[in-house]
Amino acid sequence: MKKVVSVLAAVACTATMFLGCAKKSDLIKIGIINNPPSESGYRAANVKDFEDVFTKEKGYDVKTIYSLKNDEQLNAASQMITDGVDYILLSAAATDGWSKVLKNAQTAGIKVFLFDRMLNAEPDLYEAAVVSDMANQGDTAVAWLKAQNLPEYNVIHIQGAMGSDAQIGRTAALDKEFAAGTMNKVVQQTATWDEAEAKKIVEAVINSGEKFNVIYAENDGMAKGAVAALDEHGITHGVNGDVIIMGFDCNKWALREVKAGNWNYDGQCSPFQASVIEEMIKSGNVPSKKIISEEKGFDAATITDEDIEKYGLGE
């Protein structure tokens, strides 16, 4: 009889241990689709934000896919649906082409949260979007530029990855000025967020001999590349320079360039969306379909060291 009791006790103990282990491995499965951290300082901060919030220690089993190509992101999302994740968190490389995949996720009972960028898809296909207002970023920057009251505006416009929400929003306000004839489009070309490509674009304009007095670059890295081309050709820029320099994202190093007067303007784009999404996952409460980060622009005439410390990204 004692032997039987011992066996039953051992079985019960084993079952208890098994259940305990099962409970410990009962993690929330998160699939994150993002652009690679090498894209920009903004993206590196955005990636780190999600890595810091969605950890195994906090109860998440996370798989992240990085790509600047929409088709690769779409394939990754389809695989995540097949793998049976609980949530997909998505920063899309391009705004179009997502409806079918989002419908498949919905059918599978997978909840989708957008971050950083919006999509051209029915709002009922995702839970919520925690994003920047890219169009407002463009409007704010162009309003600042118009307020400079230049005798004429001859603009080199360096665009980000075409079709991305950031590119569309930051381009739209400037396109209105080109269409109205209030500003002259010297060149409008994508450098796909890349510093070296931006430098090549500006070098080509310099070599053509066409006059310009504004560089509107859709991220800090491309603005940096543009400035490198000016420096190599002895062209002054920034406060009291021959060329106005405008960037976006507010990396600390870029804001320091603004404060030093080497750049004129930098538009803020907040990368911190992970904790907002986590709160919605944990609470089950979605306060709004679209949650917009509060952002502004910084001018060389008014920026402070406190602004750099508070709003700057990286070190």
- Paired with 112 in beta bridges are 88
pLDDT of residue 315: 80
Quote the CA–CA distance of 159 and 81 in Å, as a whole number.
33
The pLDDT of residue 24 is 46
Nearest to 251 by CA among 44, 49, 48, 47: 44
Can you tell me which residue has the tokens 């910084």?
298
User: What size, in residues, is the chain?
Assistant: 315
Whether 246 contacts 266, CB under 8 Å: yes
Side chain identity, residue 227: V
Give me the pLDDT at residue 284, please: 95
CB burial of 213-231 (b: ≥16 within 10 Å; e: otherwise) equals: bbbbbbbbbbbbbbbbbbe
Over its length of 315 residues, how does the chain's per-residue pLDDT go in tens digits?
A: 444 444 344 444 444 443 344 344 589 999 999 999 998 889 999 999 999 999 999 999 999 999 999 999 999 999 999 999 999 999 999 999 999 999 999 999 999 999 999 999 999 999 999 999 999 999 999 999 999 999 999 999 999 999 999 999 999 999 999 999 999 999 999 999 999 999 999 999 999 999 999 999 999 999 999 999 999 999 999 999 999 999 999 999 999 999 999 999 999 999 999 999 999 999 999 999 999 998 999 999 999 999 999 999 988
147 is written with which tokens? 């307020």
Determine contact, residues 157/187, Cβ cutoff 8 Å. yes
Residue with token string 């980060």: 293
For tokens 């990754």, name the residue. Answer: 76
Q: At which residue do the structure tokens 């904790």 appear?
A: 275
Q: pTM for the whole thing? A: 0.82
Residue (of 91, 90, 100) closest to 121 by Cα position: 100
> Among the residues of the chain, which ranges form H helices?
2-24, 41-53, 70-83, 99-107, 134-146, 165-180, 195-208, 220-232, 252-259, 274-283, 305-311
155: part of which helix (H) or strand (E)? strand 154-159
pLDDT for the residue numbered 25: 59
The DSSP annotation for 45-107 comes to: HHHHHHHHHS-GGGTEEEEEEE-S-HHHHHHHHHHHHHHT-SEEEE--SSSSS-HHHHHHHHH
**Of residues 281, 294, 237, 287, the one with CA closest to residue 260:** 237
**What's the CA gap between 279 and 282, in Å, rounded?**
5
The confidence score (pLDDT) of residue 40 equals 87
Sheet of strand 244-249: strand arrangement: 184-190, 154-159, 214-217, 244-249, 265-268, 297-299
Tell me, what's the pLDDT at 35? 95
Kindly state the tokens that stand for 202. 């500006």
